[in-house]
């Protein structure tokens, strides 16, 4: 099941697409875009539409407008209210979140950080056309049955395949991969770590 199936529309990706359309509308001088901006963006309060049209306007501004139109005060607040927690990111049966994916912290060029001493980094392995993810887990998770799960911004779930594990008492270094053809492209991806309920201490 995907996040979009749980929540219905709009998805995280839908809202980002709305912001990009608004940004394009502002750049083209569309009246409806400028009216939307003037109505909710605090920097443009009380300005004439011609002033809004001629003012600098970036994607971060468009995200703020979309968030305000959705009833949130900011884009991070909208993410926190709608796209976090186990109600949005769905587990397989018998698995639960050790680290819930966080839309405010997408996987980037150098990976992402999480609680419990968790660090994840990933790379494209050209020789076998795969995404390889290296996951370091701290003491609290090192002895449990864990697996990383990646969601794209539309809520589609990708389960990475285990390649190898090195464990010590205080640290587990795990390697997983996913065929590159299955990797979310041109979309943000969010990493979570599931733990099997039967392996909880």
Query: What are the residue ranges spanned by the domains of the chain?
Result: 3-82, 95-199
Q: How far apart are CA 44 and CA 33, in angstroms?
A: 13
**Is the distance from CB of 89 to CB of 151 less than 8 angstroms?**
yes
The mean pLDDT of 128-149, rounded to a whole number, is 72
pLDDT at 155: 75
**116 alpha carbon, distance to own chain's centre:** 19
> What tens digit of pLDDT does each residue of 40-70 get?
999 999 899 999 999 999 999 999 999 999 9
Other beta carbons within 10 Å of 104? 11
Report residue 2's pLDDT band, with 50, 70 and 90 as the boundaries: very low
Question: Strand, helix or coil at 184?
Answer: coil
Mean pLDDT highest for which of 40-44, 108-112, 121-125? 40-44
Is CATH 2.60.40 the classification given to domain 95-199?
Answer: yes
Distance CA 195, CA 91 (A): 10
Going by C-alpha positions, the residue among 178, 125, 118 that lies closest to residue 144 is: 118
> pTM, whole model, 2 decimals?
0.63
- Specify the pLDDT at position 77: 86
């Amino acid at each position: 099941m995907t996040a979009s199936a749980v929540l219905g529309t709009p998805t995280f990706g839908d809202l980002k697409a709305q912001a990009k359309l608004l940004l394009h509308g502002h750049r083209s001088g569309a009246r409806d875009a400028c009216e939307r901006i003037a109505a909710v963006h605090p920097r443009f309060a009380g300005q004439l539409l011609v002033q809004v049209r001629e003012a600098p306007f970036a994607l971060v501004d468009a995200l703020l407008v979309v968030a305000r139109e959705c009833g949130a005060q900011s884009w991070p607040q909208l993410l926190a209210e709608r796209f976090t927690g186990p109600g949005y990111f769905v587990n397989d049966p018998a698995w639960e979140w050790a680290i819930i994916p966080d839309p405010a912290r997408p996987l980037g060029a150098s990976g992402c950080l999480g609680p419990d001493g968790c660090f994840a980094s990933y790379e494209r392995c050209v020789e076998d056309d795969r995404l390889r993810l290296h996951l370091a887990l701290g003491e609290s998770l090192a002895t449990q049955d864990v697996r990383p799960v990646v969601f794209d911004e539309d809520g589609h779930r990708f389960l990475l395949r285990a390649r190898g594990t090195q464990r010590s008492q205080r640290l587990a270094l795990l390697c997983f991969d996913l065929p590159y053809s299955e990797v979310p492209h041109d979309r943000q991806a969010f990493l979570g770590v599931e733990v099997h309920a039967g392996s909880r201490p």
